Chains A and B, each alone.
Chain A
Amino acid sequence: MKALVIIPAYNEAGNIIKTVEDIKKNAPSFDYVIINDCSKDDTMRLCERMKYNVVNMPLNSGIGAAVQCGYLYAKRYGYDYAVQVDGDGQHEACFLEEMLHIMEKEKMNMLIGSRFIENLGFQSSYLRRIGIKWFSFLIKCYTGETITDPTSGMRMAGRDIINFFAEEYPKDYPEPETAIALLKLGYTVKEIPVQMKKREEGKSSISFKRSIYYMFKVTIACCMAGVGYKKYEKEDFEDKYFKGAL
């Protein structure tokens, strides 16, 4: 059984060491890979000096492409589980072991770390919480399932999902959209409570101006995913990509 932590990093020189050391210390059964999305700061040199396991992308291609690269890595190197942890130090590694344990025990396809089950730790701003509620509502409408924290980046995927994400992953802000797609395709998605921290250095990728674009884009993407995937397509999809590719 192999498990991988995917750390997408873009200009995270201030956070990356803390994040990786946290994972090494608190999640020892995980391997990790940093996907350096062509950072303009010292991220790359820092990773090389510290001898971290890093994949450098030759061109900046956005968070979605970087994370997908991580899933591709997981697929190529035959990992059974992959979890995404943001390079900004928001996610705490101590929850990863627990997530892995639950994943193994309860055979599910994806496990999301949710901030809003126990409502502990950093709870995000009021406006963002409204946005998150809205996406929860959308997911409920389209799939009937309750996902309390659809924008959480801390998501652990099993093998099927790794293969799925390696082929199909949105370019930016993928979380709510992929949750709907996976549920529609008939995969099981569950949540466990986690705590997150406020980011310490660097900027969030979602500024105020961006957040308007974010709301529009993700809402439309959710609607598309809601009508775009049907259960019976799962087999088609698996035929098309996995059996041919592997």
Chain B
Amino acid sequence: MTGRLQFLIAVVTLIALIYVANKVRKRVIELKYALVWFLVTFLLFIMDLFPDTLGDMARFLGISLPINMLILFGFGFVLLILYTFTIVITNQDRRIKRLIQEVSILNYRIDELENALRKEDIKVKKIKTRTADEGPEHKVKVEKQEKFKLLEEE
């Protein structure tokens, strides 16, 4: 591994580390999910600092170039990051599903409540809910109708 390459890798990993840290500071990335990035870039940086150890490891495993050792590690780290994100996605998926279900049941109960109140002659202001499930075509239709109304009023 040439000094030039070593320098390049060190600079790139450091920039990546600072970049991610800055994003965390600005709250673009949640710290919890940035930790794995910190770990990976930091480890790559450390390895890059000791090319001799890397070379020994490469020779031990029968890899002819030390840089390939670094790439192998990098690949492993990428898999690690992907793995953590798979867990995160699964978790979110589950929670979103439950939220959708809760929202739909709540919607149902609100409708029920409103109907009951209306029967008792208690006035409730009817809010047009369910815009989300009526799709873009419906919205266009509603907009047209509203325009029409405005024209009529004029």
Interfacial residues, chain A to chain B (CB-CB below 8 A): 35-36, 38, 40, 44, 54-59, 61, 65, 68-69, 72-73, 76, 171
Contacts and interface: CB of A to CB of B under 8 A. Distances in A.
Nearest to A169: B97
- The 8 A-B residue pairs whose C-beta atoms are closest, nearest first, are A69-B101, A57-B104, A55-B108, A38-B133, A58-B132, A65-B97, A55-B104, A61-B100
B133 A61 contact: no
Contacts, number: 52
Interface of B: 93, 96-97, 100-105, 107-108, 130, 132-135
Nearest to B107: A56
A171 B135 CA distance: 23
Question: Which secondary structure dominates where chain A touches chain B?
Answer: mixed
A208 B132 CA distance: 31
Question: Which secondary structure dominates where chain B touches chain A?
Answer: helix
B101 A68 contact: yes
B133 A44 contact: yes
Contacts of B100: 57-59, 61, 65, 69
B104 A69 contact: yes
Contact of A57 (B93, B133, B134): B133
Nearest to B103: A58
B138 to A, nearest CB: 10
Nearest to A69: B101
A69 B105 contact: yes
